[in-house]
Amino acid sequence: MDDSVTTMQLPSPAKLNLFLHIIGRREDGYHELQTLFQFIDLCDTLDFSLTHNNQVTISPLIEQLPTEDNLIYKAAKLLTPFKQDARFGIDIILTKQLPMGGGIGGGSSNAATTLLALNVLWKCHLSLEKLAELGVQLGADIPVFVMGFAAFAEGVGEKLQKVELDTPYFLLIKPNCHVSTGQIFTDKYLTRDTPPLRISHALKLGGHNDCLEVVKKHNPEVNEAYLWLKNHGDAKLTGTGACLFLAFDNWHDAERVRLATPQKWQSWVCRGCNVSPTHAVLNQWIEQNWSECRQ
């Protein structure tokens, strides 16, 4: 095998929940959702190098996250039974840009990017559907990153219908707090009875985020940032937070508000995407290395 097919560099994007309705709770404690996922072009980068030592290494270490708990490591382990050659291993370099615990799905995205890359480098030849089915065992958000299209999602977030959305610019703000998804979903004041919508209505009418009130209650800084952003338009919370976002028609207006954002909060201007940047790059890679991929 030549060098071009033993290495791969992929972007690992964030997502936004343009709305997040909780319509019920399952017996296992997981919540039934209706949510609209769109990717944004704010990404981590993962560099993969194939080895033949049967090891999975990830560098640099993420502070306070043992490698065994890193979703990248767990994703690689999930694919191990499907490797074409048991000696295959992988060295992964993670360049982190996405804040953790922000409701933008960085960990889930990293796991999905790993499944997609190793499926090719380890010649597992699994379908996207099979990879999504494996991924959901690690997190409810992983299937949408595996499938790679903007989607209306139901179930726990894994039943996906592809949608074509406007692609505005977003101002994204990260208040200085880390929200625990588990804590929000177990709060007794969380409302879990939003009536289910048909997809056509959901796309026409939009929606709200049922987690907002509970997240603001636990995290005063989210409340403060929300009130600030609301002065500039229809501010929204993504997932279980802590990140907030606001849509703009053009980059200049978004950047103008970003420059006025209190400096104690991290802020970015990014663009909504209907196709995951991971898939855009992976498809190019596969095209360039097609003959080797098929072996």
Ligand X SMILES: C[C@@](CO)(OP(=O)(O)O)[C@H](O)COP(=O)(O)OP(=O)(O)OC[C@H]1O[C@@H](n2ccc(N)nc2=O)[C@H](O)[C@@H]1O
Contact set with ligand X (CB under 6 A): 17, 20, 29-31, 33, 35, 103, 105, 108, 139-141, 156-157, 181-182, 185, 239-240
Bridge partners (DSSP) of residue 34 are: 21
Q: Can residue 148 be called a binding residue for ligand ADP (CB under 6 A)?
A: no
Nearest to 77 by CA among 56, 107, 104, 51: 56
3-state secondary structure of 38: strand
Q: Which does 110 bind (CB under 5 to 8 A by kind): ligand X, ligand ADP, none?
A: ligand ADP
Stretch (H or E) spanning 58: strand 56-59
Q: Where are the alpha helices (DSSP H) in 55-159?
A: 71-79, 106-121, 128-135, 142-147
The answer to whether 178 and 101 have CB atoms below 8 angstroms apart is yes
- Site membership for ligand ADP, residue 90 (CB under 6 A): no
**Token pair in block for residue 278:** 């991971």
Least distance to ligand ADP from the beta carbon of 205, Å?
A: 25
Is 159 labeled as catalytic in the residue annotation?
no
The binder of 100, among ligand ADP, ligand X, none, by C-beta within 5 to 8 A per type, is ligand ADP
Question: Per the annotation, does 148 bind a ligand?
Answer: no
In the complex with ligand ADP, the residue whose CB is nearer, 76 or 235, is 76
Catalytic member of 3, 47, 130, 141: 141
What gap in Å lies between CA 285 and CA 262, rounded to an integer? 40
Q: Which CB atom, from 89 or from 277, has the smaller least distance to ligand X?
A: 277
Q: If binding is defined by CB under 6 A, does position 106 make contact with ligand ADP?
A: yes
The entry of ligand ADP, ligand X, none near residue 17 (CB within 5 to 8 angstroms by kind) is ligand X
- Using CB under 6 A, pick the residue from 11, 13, 89, 102 that binds ligand ADP: 102
How many other C-beta atoms are found inside a 10 Å radius of the C-beta of residue 15? 27
103 is in an annotated binding site: yes
Residue 123 known to be catalytic: no
Token representation of residue 192: 């879990």
Q: What is the DSSP string of 171-208?
A: EEEE-S----HHHHHT-TT----PPP--HHHHHHH---
Q: Is 134 in the site for ligand ADP (CB under 6 A)?
A: no
Q: Which residues contact 112 (CB under 8 A, 6 or more apart)?
A: 12, 75, 131, 135, 142, 143, 145, 146, 278
- 154-183 mask for ligand ADP (x: CB under 6 A)? ---------------------------x--
- Write out the residues near ligand ADP by the rule CB under 6 A: 65, 69-72, 100-108, 110, 181, 239
Active site residues: 15, 141
